Amino acid sequence: MTNPSVAAAAPPPGTRAADAASGPVPPPASATELPPSVGAFHYTRYQARTPALAHDGMEPGRHPVVIAGGGPVGMALALGLANQGVRCVILEADDTVCVGSRAACISRRSLEIVERLGVRPAFMAKGLPWTGGRSFYKTAEVFRFEMPHDERQKLPPMINLEQYYIEQYLLEEILRRNEASPGLVDIRWGTELTGLAQDEEGVTLDVRNSEGAYRLRGRWLASCDGGQSFVRKALGLALEGTGYEGRYVIIDIELHSKHPTERRAWFDPPWNPGSTVLMHRQPDDIWRIDYQLRAGQSTEEALKPAAVAEFVQRHLDAIGEGHLPWKTVWTSVYRAGAMTLDSYRHGRVLFAGNAAHAMPIFGVRGLNSGFDDADNLAWKLAFVARGLSDASLLDSYSQERIAAFHVNAENAMRSTEFMSPPSRGFDLLREAALSLSQVHRGIAQLINPRQTQAVRYADSALSSEGDALPAGPLPGEVMAEQQLEQGHLTDWIGPVFTLLVLQPGADAVPLPDDEVAEALRGALPFVVRTIASPGIEAADAQASPAVFEALGAGGGAVYLLRPDGHVAARWQRMPRDALRGALACAAATTFTEIAA
């Protein structure tokens, strides 16, 4: 069957292959033409700008932070720094936001992060929420999964939103911040980083744009420049880990289908035997199709417009939607890998996102891990830049996020080995699991894609010992969301240290008032929030007994939360000097400085 809309559609934008360390790579931007509009999204080209320079071509002064890369991780880091009042410069080689859907699934944890950055409303207004998905072996459904979701949550477990929208909404928030505080985030579009050197005082960077070349200096450099990171290569660093042979073609199509938003996966489908096919709905009637190339298939041949059209039409015919008009809007190719740097801090240079690590697409841990990187790094780098913390605080960023990488990679690699078996032995095991899963539902759990979730920093140097509560998040874990009498618990958790006082009874939870008062007067951003039972006055919010029980606070409890929402310490009764010690530990500083 030939779809007339396919023949009339313009060829998809050019693409090039990527390796396991780089992920999907968009086509190079045209110097004269904007990328074509996609659905309701229209691209804007941003002009390069050269700052005032000294006679030697050096920009005067030294920036607190320079960020290489203006993708979602770089912009999220910039907004996180802005939350702490720290200015930065973003160097972005392209002059538009990205082309193609790329990272398209945003987790609940990432939505909590972008809420602190001010962009959650935009994400939720456009994104498509979903809670589960289905897997098929040939044509039979063999597994259905649901991600955790209940009345306590204010956010869905996942939304689908194309990366160009993600970047656009982050950019719009940056522009809003700059209106209130000009120059807070200085984005320099069309500016390529060509050289770097560092010393004890900071970094010196060589850059060029369409107007020429110049140099600038920064106290810190954050490398958020993606899988092909110039900074990583300039320092002679390489990602290490596991690269898989499986290759996936990624195709975005415009398709007016009414199928609900869910994740669908077909294993060994008759229309593409020996392969795996994934399909996701995205905003503006854009559908993302990922399919595995079989051994011996040519990547270049698979990406030709005729081959793309033939595969998509064959797939849509098989799922009963071949009669619907559609057109291709973007293609790319991806090779799975779980790889990382051995340290995310190298002197005055820090790495985040795909510049620091590569994740398989399965379980959507790529950009979601990048958002977690930015969330962890922003407050720590800001504290160091402001002189509130010792630079050793940045070592905890590397330690925590590398530990998180290994947790994520273990789950992602299990999914990858199922989705793209690395050997005939794995292939036989998958075939057995799939063929038995219709009858034996326990075996079907092997098909679970293990979607991303918040990671506990179990061995964090920033955590302090406290009390063994009967329930609730442990030190290093993210504070669990809870529905309050009005609103939710995360409404009261901002990008600051939060002393969360849980008061289920009429008697106030005892606190060392002098230590709390000193912390409130101190230089560190610090607030006290009290959640009490209904009827108790002088509380920020009220909660039911179930909330206190879930947090191990049936008799009252106190949590110290970091600016990224992770638990630094917890107590049933806070002993003398406990707050002093826990704050000093979590901020890599001394209480003398905290209370200054």
Same-domain pairing of 172 and 295: no
User: Which has the higher per-residue pLDDT, 97 or 23?
Assistant: 97
Answer for the pair 128, 261: CB distance below 8 angstroms, yes or no: yes
Name the DSSP class of 456: P
Place of tokens 């600016």: 563
Q: Is 30 a residue whose pLDDT tops 50?
A: no
Q: Is 537 a residue whose pLDDT tops 90?
A: no
DSSP string across 394-440: HHHHHHHHHHHHHHHHHHHHHHHHHHS-SSHHHHHHHHHHHHHHTT-
Task: Give, in order, the Cα–Cα distances in Å from 124 to each of 152, 399, 417.
Answer: 18, 32, 33
Same-domain pairing of 271 and 380: no
Domain CATH code at residue 261: 3.30.9.10
The whole model's pTM is what?
0.91
395 inside domain: yes
Same-domain pairing of 539 and 558: yes
pLDDT, tens digit, 9 for 90 and up, residues 392-426: 999 999 999 999 999 888 776 665 555 555 555 55
User: Where are any strands of DSSP class E within 440-556?
Assistant: 497-503, 526-532, 541-542
168 inside domain: yes
pLDDT, tens digit, 9 for 90 and up, residues 79-112: 999 999 999 999 999 999 999 999 899 999 999 9
Selection from 288, 412, 303 nearest residue 361 by Cα = 412
Radius of gyration of the chain (CA): 25
Same-domain pairing of 347 and 222: yes
Domain CATH code at residue 501: 3.40.30.120
User: Where are any strands of DSSP class E within 7-94?
Assistant: 63-68, 88-91
Q: Is 261 a residue whose pLDDT tops 80?
A: yes
- As a whole number, mean pLDDT of residues 314-333 equals 97
Same-domain pairing of 170 and 222: yes
Q: Is 249 a residue whose pLDDT tops 50?
A: yes
Q: Is 594 a residue whose pLDDT tops 80?
A: no
Boundary of a domain, candidates 362, 379, 405: 405
Boundary of a domain, candidates 405, 427, 453: 405
Same-domain pairing of 525 and 557: yes
- C-alpha atoms less than 13 angstroms from C-alpha of 516 in its C-beta half-sphere: 15
User: Which has the higher per-residue pLDDT, 141 or 431?
Assistant: 141
Among 13-17, 54-58, 118-122, 546-550, name the one with the lowest average pLDDT.
13-17
Per-residue burial over 160-180, b if 16 or more Cβ lie within 10 Å, else e, is bbbbbbbbbbbbebbeebeee
136 inside domain: no
Domain CATH code at residue 344: 3.50.50.60
Same-domain pairing of 263 and 307: yes
Q: What pLDDT sits at residue 334?
A: 86
Q: Which helix (H) or strand (E) holds 443?
A: helix 441-444
Same-domain pairing of 104 and 161: yes
Q: Structure tokens of 323?
A: 């009669």
279 inside domain: yes
Q: Give the structural domain span for 281.
A: 241-335
Answer for the pair 489, 195: CB distance below 8 angstroms, yes or no: no
Place of tokens 């929420």: 129
Q: Which residues pair with 351 in a beta bridge?
A: 223
Selection from 38, 109, 105, 94 nearest residue 371 by Cα = 109
35 inside domain: no
pLDDT, tens digit, 9 for 90 and up, residues 296-322: 889 999 999 999 999 999 999 999 999
- Cite the DSSP H helix spans in 478-522: 513-521
445 inside domain: no
Q: What pLDDT sits at residue 142?
A: 85
Q: What pLDDT sits at residue 203?
A: 98
- As a whole number, mean pLDDT of residues 175-187 equals 97
Answer for the pair 420, 246: CB distance below 8 angstroms, yes or no: yes
Q: Is 324 a residue whose pLDDT tops 70?
A: yes
Same-domain pairing of 201 and 214: yes
Q: Is 569 a residue whose pLDDT tops 60?
A: yes
Selection from 277, 289, 338 nearest residue 137 by Cα = 277
Q: Structure tokens of 14?
A: 């050019």
349 inside domain: yes
- As a whole number, mean pLDDT of residues 222-229 equals 96
In whole angstroms, give the CA distance from residue 78 to residue 507.
43
- As a whole number, mean pLDDT of residues 252-266 equals 96
Among 147-151, 408-412, 466-470, name the one with the lowest average pLDDT.
408-412
Report the share of the chain in percent with pLDDT over 90: 75
pLDDT, tens digit, 9 for 90 and up, residues 40-51: 999 999 999 999
Report the share of the chain in percent with pLDDT over 70: 85
Q: Count how many domains the chain has.
A: 3
Task: Give, in order, the Cα–Cα distances in Å from 485 to each of 152, 535, 545.
Answer: 11, 11, 11
202 inside domain: yes
Same-domain pairing of 364 and 398: yes
Answer for the pair 207, 93: CB distance below 8 angstroms, yes or no: no
Boundary of a domain, candidates 379, 405, 431: 405
Selection from 440, 438, 474, 442 nearest residue 455 by Cα = 474
Same-domain pairing of 180 and 151: yes
Selection from 348, 98, 123, 406 nearest residue 226 by Cα = 98
Q: What dihedral angle (degrees, nearest 10) is formed by the CA atoms of 253, 254, 255, 261?
A: 80
User: Which has the higher per-residue pLDDT, 364 or 500?
Assistant: 500
pLDDT, tens digit, 9 for 90 and up, residues 436-465: 555 555 555 555 555 667 899 999 999 999
**439 class by beta-carbon count within 10 Å (0-12 exposed, 13-18 middle, 19+ buried):** exposed
Same-domain pairing of 482 and 356: no
Selection from 338, 344, 350 nearest residue 416 by Cα = 338
Mean pLDDT of the chain: 89
What is residue 514's three-state secondary structure?
helix
